[in-house]
A and B are shown apart, each in its own frame.
Chain A
Amino acid sequence: MAIQSPGEPSARGAPVRADTGRLPARAGLGLKPQHFAEILATGPDLGFFEIHAENYLVAGGPFHHYLSRIRERYPLSIHGVGLSIGGAGPLNAAHLERLAALLNRYQPQAFSEHLAWSTHAGVFFNDLLPLPYDNMTLNRVCDHIDQVQEQLQRRLLLENPATYVEFATSTMDEAAFLTEIIRRTGCGLLLDVNNAYVSSVNHHRDLQAYLTALPLSQVGEIHLAGFARDRDAAGAPLLIDTHGAPVAAAVWDFYAFALALLGPTPTLIERDHDIPPLAVLIAEAQYAERLLEPAQRTVREVCA
């Protein structure tokens, strides 16, 4: 069974279920423990917060204490980093159950995961590992997404990956692979603009062609982050998706280009390493909102 967003035809004849709400088409920030108290004390004007699900799959303590209070004031996105949707083995049923309980408790406006694997034969690698884009992988990923959407009773947003290698066995390109997953499962797309940029450099792809080949009407959220620079064995640029730096100028440009096609879309500033003071991240979010504004104006003009 797949969960469709309202008003879309169901590819597998699945029942249509309305979302409990949507993230506002504004900028949000990843929620970090070092910012908990300041957020509650100052109540910054942000569209939403996003958490990594796995950090909150604990029994109690300060994480739940602060998240409960912040959830009362802000929309929430829950972003999984450990489900291993692309894993060769079955999904971890206990992990999925804990996720379901977390979603039930916090009622987020969005839930997302990655087109990647992170667990194999019981070992968790704590990284988003790449997949060959072939039919066998496609079937497996779709089965896993069906299972997740059925158990969580909500639509999943699937994030496009940042990758450093390609596979000789791939038979389709990434955009075609993602498009087919979305068509079959009815899941949505989390467009990580930084990942798209990083992968386009790393694999010498045409970034605009990649974007326009994706089913853009299914984008439910955008991610923006920073990368680090390295080189491959031939000296070609190799960008590393670190989430440890401000959003790069080229990524902001591509974001503006994407917004012109997408219209206003909830946008997360991701920062997981070398985390600066909250004010620095708020400034980045405000910059994203300045770029979101013309997109909103365009939509109003079109609708007028």
Chain B
Amino acid sequence: MSAQHAFAAALLDANAPCPEGLTAWNGSDPTRRFAVYRNNVVSSLIDALAETFPVTLELVGEEFFRAMAGVFVRQAPPQSALLACYGEGFPAFIERFEPARSVPYLADVARLEWLRVRAFHAADANPLPPDRVAQALAAPERLPALRVDCHPSLGVLSSRHAVVSLWAAHQGLDDLARVDPGIPETALVVRPRLAVQVIALPRGGDVLISGFASGLTLGEAAALAVAAATDFDLTAAFALLLRYGALSALHEPAETSL
């Protein structure tokens, strides 16, 4: 068991000596052969992060990204064989990573990319069907008491930076030269069917959604959103969420009290 422990420890520590007890048929120094494993481990994990955070990579360039990811991989290697789950801590690492300070929005772009991967693999659910929406709208006096389930893939990111515009510019959807990174944006990420959507939420939209998520009624959540953003337009925000399939169920008060 201790032999495997020494092997494991030397994989992530580039300065550790080659583990004892390794041999080669021709008596050559096994350090070079052991380096194949060391390289496979670190570079495959960097590759996994590069796949999850492609826009983050584009923003800083491949060389910088791989060096930064290499530091993260050695500090926080995966705890699970499910590599789709690897990288949740990468945005917070970027925020603290001194050499990346010159790109202040980098960590938030990485947070947005993490929400996209999370949404991609999240549980499936049907968005609210139009007839259910029509039924609810037919009794407007009962709307404030409704409770709302968000789609399981939904994620929200409120940023001090133009995180949606920056991301969109790197998809060829927007002109990067026209993006002012200093304008705060809130991103809604959701995958109602097969494709992950990234859209900008109006101010207060994040408060509305977190109200839904914490079990408030539509009326209570809307009141909090108005308090957070005086120009909050509930009808427009609700229509936006419906259009992008961000909601999956509405509950009448009787249902939730059960």
- Which residues on A are within 8 Å of B, measured CB to CB? 54-55, 57-65, 81-84, 87-89, 92, 95, 117-127, 129-130, 132, 164-169, 202-204, 230, 232-234, 236, 238, 240
In the assembled complex, the Cα of A120 lies from the Cα of B152 at a distance in Å of: 33
A273 CB to nearest B CB, Å:
8
4 smallest beta-carbon distances between A and B, as pairs: A82-B81, A234-B28, A60-B124, A58-B121
Interface string of B1-12 (1 = CB under 8 A from A): 101110110011
Q: State whether the Cβ of B180 lies closer than 8 Å to any Cβ in chain A.
A: no
Residue of B nearest to A128 (CB): B40
Contact A122 B79, CB 8 Å, known A63-B121, A233-B32: yes
In the assembled complex, the Cα of A62 lies from the Cα of B83 at a distance in Å of: 16
Contact of A232 among B24, B41, B82 (CB under 8 A): B24
Residue of B nearest to A205 (CB): B25
Contact of A230 among B11, B36, B84 (CB under 8 A): B36
In the assembled complex, the Cα of A95 lies from the Cα of B85 at a distance in Å of: 13
Task: State whether B25 touches A204 (Cβ < 8 A).
Answer: yes
Task: State whether A129 touches B81 (Cβ < 8 A).
Answer: no
For B25, the chain A residues whose CB sits under 8 A away are 166, 203-204
Task: State whether B37 touches A166 (Cβ < 8 A).
Answer: no
Contact A238 B79, CB 8 Å, known A61-B191, A88-B1, A120-B4: no
Contact of A60 among B5, B30, B123 (CB under 8 A): B123
For A204, the chain B residues whose CB sits under 8 A away are 25-26
Contact of A240 among B36, B79, B81, B194 (CB under 8 A): B36
Task: State whether A124 touches B27 (Cβ < 8 A).
Answer: no
Complex A-B: 27 CB contacts under 8 Å: A58-B84, A59-B121, A60-B123, A60-B152, A60-B153, A61-B122, A62-B120, A62-B194, A82-B82, A88-B4, A88-B5, A92-B81, A117-B4, A119-B81, A121-B8, A126-B40, A164-B36, A165-B23, A165-B33, A167-B23, A169-B3, A203-B25, A230-B36, A233-B29, A233-B31, A233-B33, A238-B36
For A240, the chain B residues whose CB sits under 8 A away are 36
B residues 24-55 touching A (CB-CB < 8 Å)? 24-34, 36-37, 40-41, 44-45, 48
Excluding A57-B82, A233-B32, A238-B36, 19 further A-B contacts by CB distance (< 8 Å) are: A60-B122, A61-B124, A65-B124, A120-B7, A123-B77, A125-B8, A126-B44, A126-B81, A126-B83, A127-B44, A129-B37, A165-B22, A166-B24, A168-B23, A203-B24, A232-B26, A236-B24, A236-B28, A238-B32
For B194, the chain A residues whose CB sits under 8 A away are 61-62, 65
Contact of A120 among B5, B29, B81 (CB under 8 A): B5
A205 CB to nearest B CB, Å:
8
A182 CB to nearest B CB, Å:
23
Task: State whether B36 touches A124 (Cβ < 8 A).
Answer: no
Q: State whether the Cβ of B21 lies closer than 8 Å to any Cβ in chain A.
A: yes
Contact A54 B83, CB 8 Å, known A60-B121, A62-B120, A88-B5: yes
Residue of A nearest to B85 (CB): A58
Task: State whether A166 touches B82 (Cβ < 8 A).
Answer: no
Contact A123 B8, CB 8 Å, known A232-B32, A232-B33: yes
Task: State whether B81 touches A95 (Cβ < 8 A).
Answer: yes
For B81, the chain A residues whose CB sits under 8 A away are 54, 81-84, 92, 95, 118-119, 124, 126
Task: State whether A124 touches B22 (Cβ < 8 A).
Answer: no
In the assembled complex, the Cα of A240 lies from the Cα of B26 at a distance in Å of: 18
In the assembled complex, the Cα of A46 lies from the Cα of B214 at a distance in Å of: 49
